[in-house]
Structure 1
Amino acid sequence: MIAPGALFWWALLAVTWALSTWSFQLYKALDARWIIRFPKGWQIDFEGWISAAMKWLLEDATFGLFTFQDLTRFVSSLIELPYDLARAALADGFITGLGSNAVQIAPPLGWVAVTALMMLLALYARGWGLAVLVGACFVYLAVFGQWDSAMVTLASVVIAVPIGVLGGLALGIACYRLAWVERSLRPVLDLMQTVPIFAYLVPILFLFGFGPVSALVATVIYAMPPMVRVATVALQSVPPEVVEAGHMAGCTRRQMMWKVLVPSAAPTLMVGVNQVIMLSLNMVIIASMIGAGGLGFDVLSALRRLDIGGGIEAGLAIVVIAIALDRVSQAFARRLPDAAPDRGAGPLQRHPYITAALAVVVATYLLGLALPALQDFPDRLTLTTSAFWEEAMRWINVTFFDTLDAIKSAFLTYLLLPVKRFFTGIPWAWGILATGLAAARIGGWRLGLMAAVMAGLIACVGLWDKAMTTVYLCGVSVLIAYAIGVPLGIWAGQRAGAHAWVGAFIDTLQTLPSFVYLIPVVMLFRVGDFSAMIAVVLYALAPAVRYAAHGVRSVDPQMIEAGLVAGCTPRQLLWRIKLPLAAPSLLLGLNQTIMLAISMLVITALVGTRDLGQEVYIALTKANVGQGIVAGLAVAFIAIVADRVISAMAAKSRERLGLT
């Protein structure tokens, strides 16, 4: 006998399959086009309304003493000044005058100086091992001719990260102190983290124009939400006895925050800083589309020219910077506080690293006057691997063309195209109803209503077909990533040796900016849905592995001991004890895999997908604010529904296991 719950899901799937399969024939028989396409007369012109509102903001909105355009210019000037200083110090040098009258009054920091400063930072954070790794990363940039572009990218990160960290910490403190602020910010943060990256670029390009300032604004908006969430959780997690000790010591409210809570939460806050750094680096690459320049522009240009060697070289330079910044920020997250310095010590003893940094800057500047090689790495000594990568890709394509083409054809024939036909054939009316019913069954009527409303809004703006294409690509990619990631995570969770190797592999995947995945995939498989799927799987694999390994390792040893006493074999221990108890972690891993897959899908619009990501990308190329925001919100709605449904499943799983 089939359980009522299972019967519901089988019935829902059967009706959906039947309608998807026969919707076109039904439309033909009844001469009712509205069955397969939302009627144009019913569509809501959100796109036009948003475009008109943005035009009004920019041209007519006023706050009395100043206009909205004055406000955007003021914000631009606040960001542009420190950015110009950072870029002058790292890339362009300090210049006076304009145009042909421009004169350089001081050169930028040379490659030796920047490398030495980064090594000092790494030495302070952990020790010589990390310092050597970071030094090798920056020497690589100089030796392989990527220094100038890398310094432009680094200048953007140097400005975006402090703004993102300080802004996120301030909002996190507000969330900690005021419950209504946290409740109000939660949906805003959800939207900021689920709206596609490209969608940020469209209104920002409209408001701030083309250039590095727009790129920095987009970077801060994209990178700040994790810091807000981490800061809120970190402050809420400070042990009550620490807070009580602060009260007993007579701390004021301000002292309690800055001398008790923030220092106690510092290790967790540094995890948020690490996230801001990595997201800023990722976004700076994408923001090269609106004038950020640097390595991101090099990668984008190489993709457009199909320059395999140049694209891989620039991509590797991005990876090198990401590794260096990631390892340094992680080291600061784990670093213990310094011991109090001796009161009788002089400034040199109290601040040895700052002293050494100043000495490095002065020494390299003076020596660089006599030895230009210390300032600019000699061109005759630079190396290039461009020809090697070109030849390697050519050899792989020639040697394994039939094999790669067979793999691609098999996936398209037996997986991608059938799933695509299923999702794109679902009539919009039934899709809305089925989404609401499924969500209500899992999380209650409120979740069901929210899911149905969001699905309805997607249909109302005429994006149902593209949304279903997004769901199909995301679904297939998540399925494959999860099928690969969970077994890897289980293996890593049960064996210490495997955990080290798998952990290193996943760290590498998480360090790579999203753009980098597109280069080899496009070179091997060309553009299309299959290439997009491969890039998404690689990008979204990490959380599936991490959460599976964490879930298996976190099973109560007493439960395992009880299983052994009952005579369970290793296979029975895994399937009947470890995996059921790890179910909440596995579901959270699924949630994060879906979120990363959706964010990557928008970037894969560059390799020819015809989904919501392409809609956002087209809006960016046309500077169509309404189109970009509407398409971005449609992606966000899909992500929010998936997030809420998976979270409800995880909560039910914890409740069933008695873990709440």
Structure 2
Amino acid sequence: MMTATLPQPPFRLDQKRVAQAILLAALVLVLSRNVLPAYLLRLPESLVLPFADWINAVFDFARDDLGLMAFTRAFSDVVEFCLDVTANLLYGKSRWPQLGPIPWVVIAATAGMAGYALGGLRLAVLAGGTFVWIAVMGQWKWAMETLSVIVVAVPFAVVFGLLMGILAWRYRLAERILNPVLNIAQSLPHFAYMIPVVVFIGVGPKAGAIVTIIFSVPPMIRMSLLGLRAVSPEIIESGKMSGTTRWQLMTRVRLPAARTEILIGVNQVIMQSLAMVVLASFIGMPGLGQKLLQLLQALRIGLSVEIGITIVLLAIVLDRMSKAWAMKQPEHVEGATWVQRHRLLAIWLGLVALGFVMAWLHPYFAEVERKQALSMADPIDFVVGGFIDLIDPVTDWLRWFLITWVLIPLRDAFLWLPTSAVLLALAGIGWRIGGWRSALVCLAFALPIALSGWWDRAMITAYTVFVSVALALLIGVPLGLIGAANETRARRFLLVCDTAQTFPSFIYLIPVVMLFGVNDVAVVAAVMVFATVPIVRYTIEGLRNIPPEIVESAQMSGASRGQLLRHVKVPLAIPTLVVGANQSIMFALFMVIIAAFIGTQDLGQEMQRALSSTDVGKGLVLGFAVAFMGLLADHLLLKWARGKGATLGSR
């Protein structure tokens, strides 16, 4: 009698056991480091690929053989003409066309009226008061040099981003091509954008404007695509039934329906533009960023604080006004006179006329000269000097302790790790979280860094980010738990986070240089502060967004406040907390490159050297190394968060 054989199930590798085996192999390599062959410690020179030479060859071909230089020069000439117009209007730059300068009282009144129209009296006072502050503190020309570039860069970036967003919405292939490009573009550090622009354009305001345009386009593309996708089918169907053409359907139906998302994209463009314009001082962009850079190099804290306040106020004003514009819905007034319909416009015209009259009567209202300007630098220097003298023993000891017992040992430990062990460990972690596909993704991001020859610099960057994010988690999570305790406190904490996220990253260097000087401790402190903000925000948001019925059920089961937090709220908020940690790592990578200005020997320092020597290949290789580190962390954390969220959802 024959027995039927059951079909054998297909052979499958146990994901957990494979990951454990890979991680065990990595641990063996670490423990046997002293007997490993040299090629397992660091890749030999023969395996280092000349990525920089390849990139330089491509750029040389594009510049010399494809005639790209002619196109870039033509575009830069258009940008330069626009800059001449705005510079003449805002601060009277002595080039054609001679149109300005507009008196500062007129610009302050215009900002105040725009603030009132968009957000009421408080925004009007904030906007108008900011420009009054800039004028009376003698910073008008520097601020207008910065704004003249923003006024030119933002429209270019918005139009280009909107067109690319429409293209991605219209054609699936375009979206598939753009998505990885945008992921890398939004992970590249600021300096990586500057080097190619310097090669093709040179240095100065037009180079600053063009690099600002390039840097600020990606969020506009994403928000335009998101807005067009969010338009409801009913609205589209209604437009088609009205007999609209394809052009009319886009311009009069789809784009107006996506207005909020598109204007949020404009807000992001404005904030990205301000951040880049401040940093573009490294390529000869005059304005507030250049002045702040000079003052920080000279350790003139009082004047640095004054410039820092101005940059922060401008950031807050631009952020609040663009957000108010995004949220404000169009208003229609029927059956009213012209003056009633345009009351604010009439008031503004009156204020403009009054401003010009005041400037004609007294030159102070046209331009505040440096000798007439107010200054808080001396009192700030006195207070800061006294404060530093008071806490100097503590900061000296803390600096010595952190450098001697924490930072240097950790840095040496990161550099001590064999390259092969790190690659295996990343593959094992990826396999454990997302299987073999994630393992390959991790290797695809990490292996090019090893092959580039910049592994040691990348490990110093990784060590700085690791220490900074660990400290940010230790500070940010408790702050988020405190902030989420009640609704009023949560709103206040989120307001602080919103405000802090508008600050250009340069601002965070001022207090740490003031306290610790120029060294690794200052770098870690600046990166930590910058990276703490998203952790606080996402901790509060994660705890606030837990369904109330789950909380009520736990409370009815007799759970105490501590048990409710430990066993219900925090576990359910873990996916959101992980997103916050991911954002913190991305913030830290951005900041650690900028903070190389005040110390460390990481990728950022080499990137600044590449910028000074206009080495496109080296700069982009370093930039891609930073981007790949960020994308690797992003992949692992978000993959784990999605898995954790699915597990929690299935319970």
Helix, strand or coil: the match of 1:582? helix
Aligned partner of 2:302 in structure 1 is 309
Q: Specify whether residues 561 and 240 from structure 1 end up closer, same or farther in structure 2 by C-alpha distance, changes over 3 A only.
A: farther
Q: Which residue of 2 aligns with 1:446?
A: 437
Q: 2:175, 2:133 → 1: CA distance?
A: 44
Q: Tell me the residue number matched to 1:295.
A: 288
1:416-495 maps to which residues of 2 (within 5 A)? Answer: 416-495=407-486
Deviation at 1:407, TM superposition (A): 2.3
Q: How does 1:354-365 map to 2 (within 5 A)?
A: 354-365=345-356
Q: Distance in 2 between matches of 1:279 and 1:485?
A: 24
**Which residue pairs with 1:264 in the alignment?**
257
Aligned partners of 1:109 and 1:361 also within 8 Å: no
Pairing of 1:137-536 with structure 2 (within 5 A): 137-342=130-335, 345-346=337-338, 348-377=339-368, 379-536=370-527
Structure 1 residues 614, 13: closer, same or farther in 2, change over 3 A?
farther
CA–CA distance in 2 between the matches of 1:389 and 1:18? 56
Q: Does 1:61 align with 2:46?
A: no
Amino acid at match of 2:146: T
Measure the CA separation in 2 of the matches of 1:187 and 1:220. Answer: 19
Judge which range, 321-330 or 352-361, deviates more. Answer: 352-361
1:421 Cα offset (Å): 2.6
Would you say the 8 A contact 1:43–1:461 is kept in 2?
yes
**Offset, 1:56:** 3.0
| Corresponding letter in the other structure for 1:117 | T
Distance 1:499 1:448 in 2: 39
Residue 86 of structure 1: aligned partner: 86
**Conserved in 1, the CA contact under 8 Å of 2:23 and 2:424?**
no
* Residues 69-117 of structure 1: CA deviation (Å, up to 9, x unaligned): 1101111012111111111100125645xxxxxxx95530111011011
- Following superposition, the deviation at residue 6 of structure 1 comes to 8.1
SS, match of residue 306 in structure 1: coil
Cα distance between partner residues in 2 of 1:543 and 1:530: 21
Query: Residue 136 of structure 2 contacts residue 374 of structure 2 at CA under 8 Å; is this kept in 1?
Result: yes
Amino acid in structure 1 at the alignment position of 2:42:
R
Structure 2 counterpart of 1:61, which letter?
D
2:574 alignment partner in structure 1? 583
Query: Residue 117 of structure 2: which of 114, 124, 128 is its match?
Result: 124
Matches of 2:35 and 2:379, distance apart in 1: 56
- The letter of the residue matching 1:169 is L
Partner of 1:638: 629
1:557 paired to 2:548: yes
Q: Structure 2 vs 1, CA of residues 413 and 180 (structure 1 numbering), >3 Å: closer, same or farther?
A: same
How far off is 1:491 after superposition? 2.4
> Which one is further off, 433-442 or 552-561?
433-442
Question: 3-state DSSP class of the match of 1:134?
Answer: helix
TM-superposition CA deviations, 1:314-364 (whole Å, max 9, x none): 11111111111111112112212212454x744x55444445445544443
How far apart, in 2, do the equivalents of 1:339 and 1:492 lie? 40
Residues 469-511 of structure 1: CA distance to partner in whole angstroms, max 9, x if unpaired?
A: 1111111111211222222223222312321331232123112
Q: Distance in 2 between matches of 1:482 and 1:260?
A: 45
For residue 628 of structure 1, the aligned residue among 619, 623, 644 is 619
Distance 1:646 1:411, change over 3 A: same
Distance of aligned partners of 1:167 and 1:355 in 2 relative to their CA distance in 1, 3 Å threshold: farther
Q: Aligned in 2, Cα 1:483/1:111: closer, same or farther, shift over 3 Å?
A: same
Query: Is the alpha carbon distance of 1:575 and 1:246 closer, same or farther for their aligned partners in structure 2, counting shifts above 3 Å?
Result: farther
Report Cα offsets for 1:103-146 as digits up to 9, x if no partner. x9553011101101111111110112210111111111112111
Deviation, structure 1 residue 244: 3.5
CA contact (8 A) 2:465 2:589 kept: yes
Query: How high is the TM-score relative to the length of structure 2?
Result: 0.93
Is the alpha carbon distance of 1:106 and 1:207 closer, same or farther for their aligned partners in structure 2, counting shifts above 3 Å? closer
For residue 248 of structure 1, report the CA deviation from its aligned partner: 3.6
With the length of structure 1 as denominator, give the TM-score of the two structures. 0.91
Contact 1:393 1:524 in 2 (8 A): no
CA contact under 8 A between 1:17 and 1:422: conserved in structure 2? no
What secondary structure sits across from 2:186 in the alignment? helix
- Inter-CA distance 255–605: structure 2 relative to 1 (3 Å threshold): same
Following TM superposition, by how much is the alpha carbon of 1:197 offset from its aligned partner in structure 2, in angstroms? Answer: 0.5
Shift of 1:560: 1.0
Cα RMSD over matched residues? 2.3
- Unaligned stretches of 5+ residues in structure 1: 97-103
Q: Which residue of the partner structure matches residue 53 of structure 2?
A: 48
In structure 1, C-alpha distance between the alignment counterparts of 2:16 and 2:51, rounded to whole Å: 39
* Aligned-partner residue type, residue 65 of structure 2: A
1-structure distance, mates of 2:171, 2:344: 39
In the alignment, is the contact (CA less than 8 A) between 2:16 and 2:432 conserved in 1? Answer: no
How far apart in 2 are the matches of 1:335 and 1:55?
48
| 8 Å contact from structure 1 (residues 161, 220) kept in 2 | yes
Letter in 2 for 1:524: L
Instruction: Give the SS at the match of 2:258.
Output: helix
- State the identity %: 36
CA contact (8 A) 1:192 1:221 kept: no
Shift of 1:200: 0.8
Q: Which shows bigger deviation, 421-430 or 607-616?
A: 421-430
C-alpha contact 2:23 2:425 (8 A) present in aligned 1? no
**Residues matched between the structures, number:** 638
Matches of 2:249 and 2:100 in 1, distance apart? 45
Residue 603 of structure 1, aligned match among 591, 594, 600:
594
Distance 1:7 1:413, change over 3 A: farther
For 1:486 and 1:259, how far apart are their aligned partners in 2? 46
Relative to structure 1, the CA distance from residue 26 to residue 395 in structure 2 (aligned partners, 3 Å threshold; closer, same or farther) is: farther
2:7 aligned partner = none
Residues 20 and 422 in structure 1, CA contact (< 8 A), matched pair in contact too? no
1:26 corresponds, among 25, 32, 35, to 35
In the TM superposition, residue 5 of structure 1 has moved relative to its aligned partner by: 8.1
